[in-house]
Amino acid sequence: MDVYFDSLCQRVCADMALRGYAKSTQRDHLRRLANFAAFLGRSPDTASFEDVRKYQLHLKEAGATVSYQNHVVTTLRFVFRVTLGRWEIERYTHFGRHERKLPTVLSQREVAQLLRHAADLRCRLALSAAYGAGLRVSEIVRLKIKDIDSERMVIRVEQGKGQKDRYVMLSPYLLDLSRAWCEADQQNCFLFPGRKPGTHLTTRQLIRICHETAHAAKINKRVTPHILRHSFATHLLEQGADVRIIQVLLGHARLDTTALYTRVATNLIAGTQSPLDQIVPMLSDLGCETTVTISRKFKLSGVAAWLKEYVSFARWSSRLSLSV
């Protein structure tokens, strides 16, 4: 199988390279293709559509996430349609529907606690870049010193997701951290160099740094660099920033992806007046009390009043049933 599979992988890589796929995307596709080959026990170019269907069922029964199952479908469709020329694959593969969960967001105090407990200057700078500029973890580790433009107060993000360049704001605090860090280490072109010359910090290392710092700060939430990016977008929205500006800063291709943050911007939600409040004066004009009066001359409103009346009713009904 190895010879045939290696040949298939070379053809798939060539097809992806012709279409401008990023190296990381190519690796992800090849990894999923290798998993399919391991399931089959032979090269995937000999697979039938029934084999594809069985593999999808296998993934589902094994508890694979819907997101991963959909990524597998994307890989198999590319291989069968583009490399093997078997376009009918679409009739035998289907994307699953997954729940659209709201992203986790840290409060500003939690972010401050996180930065305060950073182990060293490098860690604080990396976490500050995630929150202060909304960068993806892959974008942070690939930052170069030359990408920081202190005159225009922007950071150039080269070849972000979708192989697109963009600019994001440069916080004065982030600039100070960068200068202090560069003074300590001037031997590398990367802002976060790796152990070997010419390499940078890996995404896995940065995620581990984030986890360790969150543990030290005693933050009882799952904290990753991407959650800091979520917090960046949400806090900007709560400050009144235009959602289209946030879209550009995040590098989102679609506005509806950015619009998801309107659902977690709790300051905006809590600050939006309910239409019920608009009719309260009308209720007063109509002679209707706008607060709930209970015994002992306490006045409660909303849920608290309802709970009080419910408890009183429950006690009354209990006494009634005993007397009967």
User: What are the CA-CA distances from residue 135 to residues 68, 120, 139, 252, 265 (Å)?
Assistant: 23, 20, 6, 12, 19
Catalytic residue among 32, 229, 230, 235: 229
For residue 86, pLDDT beyond 90: no
pLDDT beyond 70 at 45: yes
- Catalytic residue (one of 29, 124, 230, 252): 252
Query: Class of 108-268 per CATH?
Result: mainly alpha
Active site residue 261: yes
CATH 1.10.3470 at 2-91, yes or no: no
Q: Which amino acid is at 136?
A: R
Pick 304 or 283 by higher pLDDT: 283
pLDDT tens-place string over residues 204-255:
999 999 999 999 999 999 999 999 999 998 888 888 888 888 888 888 877 7
- 261, pLDDT greater than 60: yes
pLDDT at 319 over 60: no
pLDDT at residue 188 tops 80: no
- Catalytic site includes residue 68: no
Give the model's confidence band at 294: pLDDT under 50 very low, under 70 low, under 90 confident, else very high: very low
**pLDDT for position 129:** 92
Average pLDDT over the chain, rounded to an integer? 82
d(CA 77, CA 85) in angstroms, rounded, equals 10
Angle subtended at Cα 304 by Cα 303 and Cα 306, rounded to the nearest 5 degrees: 60
Under DSSP, the state recorded for 196 is S
How is the chain split into domains, by residue range? 2-91, 108-268, 276-323
Residue corresponding to tokens 């997101």:
67
Alpha helices in 41-120 (DSSP H): 49-61, 66-78, 108-116
How many whole angstroms separate alpha carbon 68 and alpha carbon 172?
A: 39
Give me the catalytic one of 29, 32, 117, 136. Answer: 136
Separation CA 201–CA 284 (nearest Å): 65
